[in-house]
Amino acid sequence: MGVLFLQWCDERFNFQATFLQCLAKHVPNIYSAEMDPLLEKQEEMVQAAILYPLECYLFGEDPDIFLEKLQQSGTSQLCGKVFKGGETTYSCRDCAVDPTCVLCMDCFQNSIHKNHRYKMHSSTGGGFCDCGDTEAWKAGPLCTKHEPGASGSAKENSECQLNEEIMEHSRRVFPSVIKYMVDMLIWEEEKELPPELTIREKVDSYYCVLFNDEHHSYDHVIYSLQRALGCELGEAQLHTTAIDKEGRRAVKAGHYASCQEAKEEIKRHSENVSQRPLHVEVLHADVMAHQKFALRLGSWLNKLMSYSSDFRQIFCQICLKEEAGSEKPCFISKLMLWDAKLHKGARKVLHELIFSSFFMEMEYKKLFAVEFVKYYKALQKEYISDDHDRVLSVTALSVQMFTVPTLARHLIEEQNVITIITETLLEVLPEYLDKNDKFNFQGYSQDKLNRVYAVIYDLRYVLVSKPTLWTDRLRERFLEGFVSFLRILTCMQGMEEIKRQIGQHIEVDPDWEAAIAIQMQLKNILLMFQEWCACDEELLLRAYRECHKAVMRCSTNGRSREKTVFHLCGHTLESRPYRVSADPVSIHLPLSRTLAGLHVRLSKTGTISRLHEFVSPEEFKVELLVEYPLRCLVLVAQVAAEMWRRNGLSLISQVFYYQDVKCREEMYDKDIIMLQIGASLMDPNQFLLLILQRYELADAFKKIKPTKDQDLIKQCNVLIEEMLQILIYVVGERYVPGVSNVTKEDVVMREIIHLLCIEPMAHSAITKSLPENENNETGLENVIDKVATFKKPGVSGHGVYELKDECLKEFNMFFYHYTKTQHSKAEHTQKKRRKQENRDEGKNLKRMTCEM
């Protein structure tokens, strides 16, 4: 050891060559007993033979003394603590920029946020503490421990910088260390090492190595091992536990032939009709040893990174350096691209290293993000076909970059990240497209679709903070992304059409969950896109034009039927015949609904007066815009009239979600808005005729075909009731910013008032009935005290909110978010209350009921 240290100190020597010679000599010896390693002994030898001399050279003095000094001089302002699975994290609901900004327990306890409204979470692992990140917090970005000037870090800037000699050594040491680590981690040869590491005669010593996957159960692996190797239960269990923890393990050592035989046996015993065989490789002992040591070097670097910003910066520079004139990815991109091929243990080391280096230095985090987006499509595709959980994928790092507002803006402007994400979706979703280029998720795989959701989530992350400053470039790139996103919506518009079943009940309920789940995933993304579009007049108009074009393209498809004329009370309507009860209908209309959303935003800002400059009056066919949302509402009415009984539960569930709080903002609510747009722009008589016709009530209103069939009469009555209700909504439901002059707060207040008109409710019950925004907030806290008083719990039970008396006048019996049950409950409660009031005041009961 001493000799080597002296050698390394000699100025003339070639570090790279010496370093590799040293590794070639020691690594295979240190890691020779892979089947039954003495871990402490191994670590001692690694320290003595390699790491200690390496550190001596790097620091120019005794490593322990040097690191002690460095430690005292303080470190980063960022906490950056990486969370383990299950660890508690804290987010401040008052100050966090979005819900992904979290603190570790230590930082939280030492921050101002402990006195704010906060949420606690259990980490899934892989995230890190955002203490010190000024972009993550509206206030109090630093805890007292990480504040500059806090104990120990006062002299930070002066002393923690490394001297030029150490920097020079780092620049010489890191490239060799990193190159070796990368080369060995992505090494694919099972039998050979790179020539510079092959110094001795190759011996016939191999391992049969078993890899972890998420498909085979624990018991299945144990069983396969017992059968294949003839080993005891205990040994098989030991192997399996280690594989699950580390990601891979040598289960047999020996000559090549015998390892090869064991490999085939394990594969044979782990394979069955529904499962692929386990992943097994036969590796030469020296290959295995060097790969192990590469990971050890990874954690060595990881530790070193925590000592100094200079180390981090030099490390990042080397990782990002591209070979001159080469198209090859830089070191860090190579590792990223290899991520899905690495075993679990290696991925963990790699991700921790990224956290401790790139993510601790803002400038390098940005450069890393650029590389990440450059290979985004490839990485996501790898992840989608990978069999490991998301926390173990490098793609899970997206949240750390995309939710940083300045970084997101940079990535949109310079890397076109919105378009890249939507294109990725378009490239991975085609397997779900039918012959009409619409999605159809029948027989989908839940696991695979869950992986696609991760991409959708990235879109949400990028859009979560609306820019305050728009450049021309940002505007262009955003619009490009929006148009690309419209292509996804086009594949959804009219997807999974259904047709009313007559006679026989359907045999199998079709899958509906996937389509609704995607709708739920997209809800806030759709809202955010609309909000972004509304940031500036020009943008909104251009986005409207694009969306209008897309709606029209979908609406003019397959319109072969000739128009017919419909007369009633001296009015006529020309339209193409269509019947919800007989023709195909779909409840998925995200394009129409996005257009409705953009339309109210045009109204809100008054920009609507310029609409004709972007969409000519001839192009703007309002009847066509209304058509599809109207069909959807008619479907709901017909389901209520039990006309679709034979279509089974699948349809009932879809209709439920259509109006449920999880989806309604971008489904039901927008359809009502579209009808309001139609009512305001169409001739009123034409509008009413269209409604009558689509509700298939024309004959009923003409009073022809009097039927004696009680069922049909009942059915007709329900339809009339449903139709009248929709007309009441179209005229009366104006509590939408843009439809009338109300704020978002007013809307939340009105929702709460109507909930409390049913009965007094607990906090949690109200929260559950309000839609959540992109930050998972309902806005309840801001307004609840204006409309309700909290009644403390009695001996048992929980406290409830009671509506304030002065809010009772806001009660609208025909509130459009009431379900049928809620409607009758609210009506009942309010009638009872008025009766009570009348009795109290001794007034005439009859008069009051009449007023209602």
Residues interacting with Zn ion, by CB under 5 A? 79, 81, 92, 94-95, 104, 107, 113, 116, 129, 131, 143, 145-146
Choose among 695, 688, 687: nearest CA to 638. 695
How far apart CA 479 and CA 473 sit, in angstroms, is 10
3-state secondary structure 124-171: CCCCECCCCCCCCECCCCCCCCCCCCCCCCCCHHHHCCCCHHHHHHHH
| Shortest Å, Cβ 96 to Zn ion | 7
Nearer to Zn ion, 129 or 554 (CB): 129
Strand ranges in 543-590 using DSSP code E only, listed in sequence order: 564-568, 571-575
| Shortest Å, Cβ 134 to Zn ion | 13
How far apart CA 347 and CA 358 sit, in angstroms, is 16
Cα of first residue to Cα of last residue in the chain, in angstroms, is 95
Residue type, 744: K
How far apart CA 182 and CA 333 sit, in angstroms, is 10
| Shortest Å, Cβ 39 to Zn ion | 30
| Shortest Å, Cβ 79 to Zn ion | 3
Nearer to Zn ion, 110 or 607 (CB): 110
105-132 exposure pattern, b = at least 16 Cβ within 10 A, e = fewer: eebbebbbbeeeebeeeebbbbbbbbbb
> What 3-state class would DSSP assign to 345?
helix
| Shortest Å, Cβ 576 to Zn ion | 57
Decide: 811 and 754 in contact? Cβ < 8 Å: yes
Residues listed for the chain: 852
Indicate the pairing of strand 118-122 with strand 88-92: antiparallel
Nearer to Zn ion, 77 or 603 (CB): 77
| Shortest Å, Cβ 352 to Zn ion | 15
| Shortest Å, Cβ 457 to Zn ion | 24
Residue 341, CA atoms < 13 Å, CB-side half-sphere: 10
> What 3-state class would DSSP assign to 408?
helix
Nearer to Zn ion, 94 or 531 (CB): 94
| Shortest Å, Cβ 404 to Zn ion | 17
| Shortest Å, Cβ 139 to Zn ion | 6
Nearer to Zn ion, 128 or 372 (CB): 128
| DSSP label of 644 | T
Distant-in-sequence, close-in-space partners of 452: CB < 8 Å, separation ≥ 6: 384, 425, 428, 429
How far apart CA 238 and CA 546 sit, in angstroms, is 60
| Shortest Å, Cβ 379 to Zn ion | 28
Greatest Cα pair distance, the chain, in angstroms, is 109
Burial of 381 (0-12, 13-18, 19+ CB in 10 A): middle
Decide: 123 and 83 in contact? Cβ < 8 Å: yes
Q: Residue written as tokens 């987010």?
A: 91
> Quick one: which H or E segment has residue 769?
none
| Shortest Å, Cβ 392 to Zn ion | 23
Radius of gyration of the chain from its Cα atoms, rounded to whole angstroms: 33
Nearer to Zn ion, 139 or 199 (CB): 139
| Shortest Å, Cβ 90 to Zn ion | 10
Nearer to Zn ion, 141 or 597 (CB): 141
How far apart CA 22 and CA 50 sit, in angstroms, is 7
Alpha helices in 321-397 (DSSP H): 331-338, 344-356, 362-374, 376-385
Nearer to Zn ion, 87 or 531 (CB): 87
Nearer to Zn ion, 153 or 170 (CB): 153
Nearer to Zn ion, 104 or 826 (CB): 104
Nearer to Zn ion, 104 or 262 (CB): 104
Helix axis angle for 376-385 and 362-374, nearest 10°, is 70
Nearer to Zn ion, 79 or 166 (CB): 79
Which structure tokens are listed for 178? Answer: 């990193």
| Shortest Å, Cβ 120 to Zn ion | 14
| Shortest Å, Cβ 681 to Zn ion | 46
Nearer to Zn ion, 128 or 729 (CB): 128
Nearer to Zn ion, 135 or 190 (CB): 135
How far apart CA 673 and CA 688 sit, in angstroms, is 16
Describe the chain by its helix, strand, coil percentages, rounded to 5.
60, 5, 35
Nearer to Zn ion, 95 or 428 (CB): 95
Nearer to Zn ion, 101 or 573 (CB): 101
> What 3-state class would DSSP assign to 791?
strand
CA 541 to chain centre: 29
| Shortest Å, Cβ 354 to Zn ion | 18
Q: Phi and psi dihedrals of 383, rounded to 5?
A: -65, -40
| Shortest Å, Cβ 121 to Zn ion | 14
Q: How far is CA 334 from CA 53, 222, 331, 418, 696, in A?
A: 29, 34, 5, 24, 62
Nearer to Zn ion, 153 or 586 (CB): 153
Distant-in-sequence, close-in-space partners of 291: CB < 8 Å, separation ≥ 6: 184, 185, 187, 283, 346
How far apart CA 177 and CA 183 sit, in angstroms, is 10
| Shortest Å, Cβ 160 to Zn ion | 17
Indicate the pairing of strand 248-254 with strand 571-575: unpaired
| Shortest Å, Cβ 107 to Zn ion | 3
How far apart CA 505 and CA 47 sit, in angstroms, is 74
Decide: 429 and 491 in contact? Cβ < 8 Å: yes
Nearer to Zn ion, 107 or 459 (CB): 107
